[in-house]
Structure 1
Amino acid sequence: MKKNGIGGANTNKSGLKFENDTDLAAAINCDLSYKYELKKHIYPETEKPKMKSNSPVFDVYRKDNHKLIGIITKQYQFYNILWEHYGLENVNHKRWKPDEVFFNFENNTVFIVEKKWQNGPGSVDEKIFGFVNKRRLYQNNFNSEQGGEPKTTVEFSALFNSGWWLNGNNQKNGKHYQDYFDNLRIDGVKIFFDKYDYWWFGL
């Protein structure tokens, strides 16, 4: 996260605020509490988490039938749920730390969100084109599932702050980044600005 190409504490602070303000579990609790209930996930004694992480993990229940429909988490907790629920190890050489993850058990899909807050131009302009390859790496884990088809599908999205990506440079950035957005969509990446479209998660 950079401001005019120069990183700094204020920029990092603003980026952290953006991440907190767009917390998926908090957003669902605020907007969809009439429909879903979130409970703290408890790992079974026989399935202790393999990776240390302070990131929260929530079970998502549909209120009308009290059915567990999925799990929300982030960062390295992704790999703990990958092992606990799917019995899968990370097959890639590197472990990525997703900003948000929703494991939707109802449609057998894992939704991953990458957040990018900016207040000026920087290397992130090029980094966002790596999203499609990240999706493939996450998908590699589920391609190793045993038992044939259907296997779990990974969907990938980008969450941007509109203040820069659309309205920066005196509101010229919407056009400046249009080719970026178009190419992300061509690669199957869902784009959000400031907030989520819950339907995308199957909610």
Structure 2
Amino acid sequence: MIKDGIGGANTNANGLKFENKTDLATSIASFLSDKYILKPHIFKHKDKLVVKSKSLVYDVYRIRDNKLIGIITKQNQFYNILSEHYGVDNVNHKRWKPDEVFFNFENNTVFIVEKKWQSSTGSVDEKIFGFVNKRRLYQNNFNQLSKEPKPTVEFSALFNSDWWLNGGTDHNNEKSYQDYFDNLRIDGIKIFFDKYDYWWFGL
């Protein structure tokens, strides 16, 4: 994306900062440290991983009863957890790489977060309407399971408020995306700005 004749690199850099700042595992470890502890996940069969990935994976334990309640991961590690924990492989032709995933074993729900950092208008304006279809594609993987209840996939969008709500430095689109947000909600997409509502993950 170009801003003032430059931008691709700057946008990528700022987007990466936003992704790191909103890392789900780090956020939970920081803000919910009195309730949960995160431990590095150890794959039982490293030689049988579906996809090679350097993304970190964490087991989430509830402190009061030391119970494993879920797993946090991202990107291609989603497929390794899908295979190891659920015993199924990706059925879609493409491997989508979710920005954040929380597998909540207690409520049998898989929470997926897609992050969108922006500083100007562009193709991402149209891309966000594909979230509901992405949710369906992720759900396809769990629908393979033969026994009920099958996990439900919930999908959320995490936006940077300085652009999506406030219109950037020029404040020229303060309400431009209201229709976008309303339609995402109609499709059952949870919306976050800058930070998470942890209750949505069942935490």
**TM-score normalised by the shorter chain: which range applies?**
over 0.9
Gaps of 5+ in 2: none
The alpha carbon displacement at 1:145 in A equals 0.6
* Cα contact 1:4–1:120 (8 A) shared by 2: no
Are 1:158 and 2:136 matched, yes or no? no
The alpha carbon displacement at 1:48 in A equals 3.1
Gaps of 5+ in 1: none
AA in 1 matched with 2:151: T
Q: Following superposition of structure 1 onto structure 2, how do residues 58-137 of structure 1 map, counting pairs within 5 Å?
A: 58-137=58-137
AA in 2 matched with 1:42: I
- 1:192 is aligned to 192
Q: Distance in 2 between matches of 1:140 and 1:177?
A: 30
Bigger relative contact order, structure 1 or 2 (CA pairs below 8 A, ≥6 apart): 1
SS in 2 for 1:180: helix
**What percentage of aligned pairs have identical amino acids?**
76
AA in 2 matched with 1:37: I
Q: Distance in 1 between matches of 2:59 and 2:4?
A: 40
SS in 1 for 2:174: helix
Question: Residue 90 and residue 4 in structure 1: after superposition, are their counterparts in 2 closer, same or farther (change >3 A)?
Answer: farther
SS in 2 for 1:133: helix
Task: Please report the TM-score for the alignment, with normalisation by the length of structure 1.
Answer: 0.95
The alpha carbon displacement at 1:10 in A equals 1.3
SS in 2 for 1:125: helix
Q: Distance in 2 between matches of 1:5 and 1:75?
A: 31
| 1:14-39 per-position Cα deviation (integer Å, ceiling 9, x unaligned) | 00000000000000011000000000
| 1:116-142 per-position Cα deviation (integer Å, ceiling 9, x unaligned) | 000000000000000000000000000
Q: Distance in 2 between matches of 1:5 and 1:157?
A: 32
The alpha carbon displacement at 1:189 in A equals 0.2
Question: Residue 7 and residue 195 in structure 1: after superposition, are their counterparts in 2 closer, same or farther (change >3 A)?
Answer: same
Q: Distance in 1 between matches of 2:5 and 2:89?
A: 38
* Cα contact 1:11–1:119 (8 A) shared by 2: yes
Question: Residue 60 and residue 121 in structure 1: after superposition, are their counterparts in 2 closer, same or farther (change >3 A)?
Answer: same
Are 1:25 and 2:25 matched, yes or no? yes
SS in 2 for 1:10: helix
SS in 1 for 2:18: helix
Question: Residue 183 and residue 2 in structure 1: after superposition, are their counterparts in 2 closer, same or farther (change >3 A)?
Answer: farther
Q: Distance in 1 between matches of 2:145 and 2:84?
A: 13
Question: Residue 199 and residue 166 in structure 1: after superposition, are their counterparts in 2 closer, same or farther (change >3 A)?
Answer: same
Matched length? 202
SS in 2 for 1:71: strand
Structure 1 runs (4+) greater than 2 angstroms displaced: 1-7, 45-48, 169-174
Question: Residue 6 and residue 181 in structure 1: after superposition, are their counterparts in 2 closer, same or farther (change >3 A)?
Answer: farther
